[in-house]
Amino acid sequence: MPQKSMAIGIDIGGTNLRAARISASGEILKRLSEKSAPDPELVLGRIADMVGLLDTPEVAAIGVGIPGRVDARRGAVLSGGYVDLASVAIAQRLEEMAGKPVVIDNDCNMALIAEMALGAGQGHDNIAMFTIGTGIGGAVAQDRRILRGRATAGQLGHITVDINGDVCACGRRGCVETTSSGTALGRHIARAGLGADVSVDQLFARDSAGDTKARGILEAWAKPLRAAIDTTVAMFDPHLVLLGGGLGLAAHKALGRAPALAAWYQCAVEPARLGDDAGVIGAGLAALSASRSAQPGRARRAVLVNGIPASGKSTVSRAIADRMGWPLLALDTIKNPFLEVLGGGDRLFNRTLGRASYQAIWSVVGEAPAGTTVVVDAWFGFQPREVLEDHLRKAGVEQTVEIWCHAPGEVLAERYGARLGQRLPGHPGAAYIPELIELARRAEPLRRGPLFDVDTTRPIDFDAITAWLRAVMANGT
């Protein structure tokens, strides 16, 4: 029987319907596109046709990103905008047509899932995202989880920026969608007396040449978006605001005409990286995640025992493994046999071997039976965050919790110096101690999922740690 390691991701837009077969790592294996339509039955028919062309025995599930208000938990479309699928039981009907489980969510939520996994959101835990296209979508992630509220939180396109403004598809006036979407840009151009064929790139070129009319259009388009971003920052205090969708890059450039002014609401604003692919990739990854979670005990889990050298993480990780019965994989456990066989080397050799050992750990996890929980002992800050995210995704790890072990630099230096005679040649020697003290000052936990803090200068309460682990693992948080 073929391994079901792929999914079909579908992104429904006001202009285009996009679909792709997606691998477990988020790679697009095959893609298709059709024109969108206001008729929901026509849209459903076109989606079903694309699914038929993309489906293979390896496809586990189908994910669909839908514009508008979606209750992802119930699989129901509550209301739409330019493409309103509220009257169509799309998840149920597509499941019946394709014979595969279907996951639906707001299209911007799907795009943010992709950006966190593969794009500009890698390494950031709290993100807000606007997708600028025919309309404006929105999504918010806290601790790398999509924020849903009762069902449909994150509708950032419906932040009010002008209470006397144009009527929005949602029924209110002056939503940022009415001022700063692609459709709104067309209205700004028309109101300025320019032709409908004027593109946003031409507006930028005219502005650079001193055309005040073009400058006025770009400011009218960008300033309300800046106000909506400031409001979002005030509400959620994210690490990053992303601008995606077909006009995300242009909107980011246009914000140069509308800089943030309020000192309290400053936040990095960056263009998304995945462009039009974000929706299908995120939908595919969401479908794969849901299909794994739907099978009891299938998802792999990892307890990340994190801390710099001499922080006490080895003691903590061994105690967790002994008490919980979970296998322990430690960086030195993988690395030391190679040092014994190959002999010691210089600092560069040690770092290279460390990276290879890190990769070996996640390769072993990926080969473990589905449902396995592992304890991983490592200093996770020695490689970029995106390297870890890539390893977790490839290993099929659906849930992580973190145990952060730490102590003052002077304590770590004393511990490290006391163990120098016990360490194999190839490990850094006494010359590393000043660097270790400096590292202790700036080292921080990953904060990827639930976090338990352990000050290893104090008696360690292993009962409290294991009780916490049982609770968070049982809740799937």
CA-to-CA distance for 213 and 196, rounded, in angstroms?
15
Task: Return the pLDDT at 399.
Answer: 86
Tell me which amino acid residue 212 is.
Answer: T
Residue with tokens 């899932």: 113
Find out whether 350 and 428 touch, Cβ atoms under 8 Å. yes
Tokens of residue 396, six digits:
């099929």
Task: Return the pLDDT at 326.
Answer: 94
Q: How many residues does the chain have?
A: 477
Tokens of residue 208, six digits:
């650079």
Determine the topology of domain 120-273 in CATH: Nucleotidyltransferase; domain 5 (3.30.420)
Task: Return the pLDDT at 1.
Answer: 43
1-118+275-294 and 120-273 share one CATH topology?
A: yes
Annotate 341-376 with b (16+ C-beta within 10 A) or e (fewer): eeeeeeeeebeebbeebbbebbeebbebeeebbbbb
Name the CATH superfamily, with its identifier, for domain 1-118+275-294.
ATPase, nucleotide binding domain (3.30.420.40)
CATH class of segment(s) 296-475: alpha beta
pLDDT in tens, 221-268: 999 999 999 999 999 999 999 999 999 999 999 999 888 888 888 899
pLDDT less than 70: residues of the chain:
1-3, 81-82, 293-299, 344-345, 347, 423-427, 474-477
Task: Return the pLDDT at 48.
Answer: 95
Cα→Cα distances 211→173, 200, 205, 214, Å: 30, 14, 9, 5
Task: Return the pLDDT at 477.
Answer: 46
Q: Helix, strand, coil shares of the chain as percentages rounded to 5?
A: 45, 20, 30
Domain ranges, ordered by start, for the chain:
1-118+275-294, 120-273, 296-475
Task: Return the pLDDT at 339.
Answer: 77
Helix (H) or strand (E) holding 79: strand 76-79
Task: Return the pLDDT at 299.
Answer: 67
CA-to-CA distance for 402 and 451, rounded, in angstroms?
5
Task: Return the pLDDT at 261.
Answer: 80
Task: Return the pLDDT at 12.
Answer: 93
Tokens of residue 403, six digits:
């145990």
Answer yes or no: pTM beyond 0.85: no
Task: Return the pLDDT at 296.
Answer: 47
